Amino acid sequence: MRRIARLCFIFFTAWRYGLLPLLRDTLKPGIGRGALTVICWSSPGVNLPRGERIRLTLEALGPIFVKFGQVLSTRRDLLPEDIANELAKLQDQVPPFSNEESRRLIERALGQPIEEIFISFDATPVASASVAQVHFGVLRATERHPEWNEHEVAIKVLRPGILPIIESDIALMYDLAKIIEKLSSDGRRLKLTENVAEFDRHLHDELDLMREAANASQLRRYFIDSDKLMIPEMYWDLCHTNVIVMEKMNGISIGRFDELRAAGVDFKKLAAEGVEIFFTQVFEYGFFHADMHPGNIMISLEPDSFGRFISLDFGIVGALSASDKNYLALNFLAFFNRDYRRVAELHVESGWVPADTRVEELEGAVRSVCEPYFDRPLKEISLGIVLVRLFQTSRRFKVEVQPQLSLLSKTLLNVEGLARELDPDLDLWQTAKPILEKWISKQLGWRGLIDGLKTEAPSWAKILPTLPRLIADALVQGSNQTKDQNGELEALKALLLVERRTHRLVVGALLFTGGFLAGILIISVGIY
């Protein structure tokens, strides 16, 4: 009954904000379209732009639908531009849960009263989202960790009872996506079911705060000596699946341009370093922060770290294999060298297009995507848009774009948009090119060979002392195999010899028998 009631509420909300006419317009003439036409006559929001109707509907349906809209807004390869732009305006501002409930969850997870863990604890959350909320506090020293004394920390608490809500709403999303895909060709083109599945996976990853803590710890190790990026340290003894405690980071959201400008932050330097950080994560480490909206990025104003980036919220990260990185780097370089033949060959070599694909045909399709950009200055070229359109072209050739690359293109669009807000004259290619060339040189040049030798050295150190024994064993085994083969050959020869003798005896017996019978026959004829 609860699920039916929720479906009725969704239907009412869609009617209220004029979303049903959008669905009606995609249907073929028939009973369904006629029924929706009658229902839509009195819809209050029917005169609003379609993107605004979708956004308002998602906002009214609650935080899980809002978050889905945020994720969907990044799929500009699937959505019309007006809808993608409107969905990008969604703000995930969710009322916090009660202070008492927050304290109870923290004490249960950490196994101690708040006062024994923290010198001070701010019960009023500083941030509240659909999945969790954040409090500030100051740690007490413990016998095991005396160095913790008076450390300022942030405590992230998973929203109570969120899993059943998520499961219920996700199930409804699947149902609605399937219905729309059956009724509408646009629904099938937008691949709503696949997008719900992708959203489902990311959302469930965010429900395990230990996973987020591990992601943050990994990135922190990579950038521990960086003068461009800071990532909070995790207090592992105080981390659990629904509560994590991390270093408090002091900074201003990167979206508050006026405050940053007033503080004297160099926007051009900030934009270039932001792009460098992202491409370093992707091509140097193959592990990147994939939720880089302004709410998760701050800029430090502390004297010893002024102007550095601060990354937060690592529930969604992307990981690339060595082949993924190689494919992307070579594609970007081939694109900017206008070597469309190489771009097409890379698609085939990656195995993402059928082996019988005509390279010349794919080359022409890639040229139609890329060539228009070379009439513009390099600073006006959007790498994110190029990547998205290459994926669209690949789909025409029956390519299923890998999920990690979809996540990458979405993050690249976010990074690129933010960087150009900071510096409209930013030449993204000139910023990214040295990183790509460095990575390719490291992987394919002499540096790559030396690094490969260093990587394999521990294995060789273990194998080399046993190499003489392994060679001797191989020779003995080969000798035994030779003996066995020789023995088999001798046996075969003996068998053939026996067969030959038997054959001669049989032939001789047959000849003798035949001659004997012939003699008897001649004698018999002579007698008669």
pLDDT digits (tens, 9 = 90+) for 428-475: 777 777 877 777 777 666 665 666 566 666 666 666 677 676 676 666
Report for 35-44, 486-495, 504-513: range of highest mean pLDDT: 35-44
The predicted model gives 275-302 an average pLDDT of: 88
On the question of pLDDT at 339 being above 80, the answer is yes
Residue ranges per domain, the chain?
1-92, 94-248, 252-444, 458-528
Helix, strand or coil for residue 460? helix
Residue 356 a catalytic site member: no
What's the confidence (pLDDT) of residue 172? Answer: 80
C-alpha–C-alpha distance, residues 312 and 249, integer Å: 9
Continuous segment of H or E residues that includes residue 230: strand 229-230
**DSSP secondary structure string, 369-399?**
HHGGGGGS-GGG--HHHHHHHHHHHHHHTT-
The predicted model gives 44-57 an average pLDDT of: 81
C-alpha–C-alpha distance, residues 499 and 504, integer Å: 9
Helix, strand or coil for residue 288? strand
> What are the φ/ψ torsions at residue 442 (nearest 5 degrees)?
-70, -35
Q: Percent of the chain, pLDDT > 90?
A: 23
C-alpha–C-alpha distance, residues 389 and 391, integer Å: 5
On the question of pLDDT at 479 being above 60, the answer is no
What's the confidence (pLDDT) of residue 325? Answer: 79
Contacting residues for 467 by C-beta, under 8 A, at least 6 apart: none
Report for 214-228, 273-287, 370-384, 399-413: range of highest mean pLDDT: 214-228
Say what the pTM is: 0.70
Query: Which has more confidence, 206 or 482?
Result: 206
What's the confidence (pLDDT) of residue 458? Answer: 66
What's the confidence (pLDDT) of residue 207? Answer: 84
269 touches 307 (CB < 8 A):
yes
What's the confidence (pLDDT) of residue 520? Answer: 35
Query: Which has more confidence, 517 or 231?
Result: 231
Tell me which of 208, 227, 266, 291 is the catalytic residue.
291
Summarize pLDDT for 100-145 with one digit per residue, the tens: 999 999 999 999 999 999 999 998 998 887 788 999 999 999 888 9
DSSP state of 242: S
Q: Percent of the chain, pLDDT > 70?
A: 68
Rama region for 386: left / alpha / beta (φ>0; ψ in -120 to 50; rest)? alpha
Residue 260 has which token pair? 């940053």
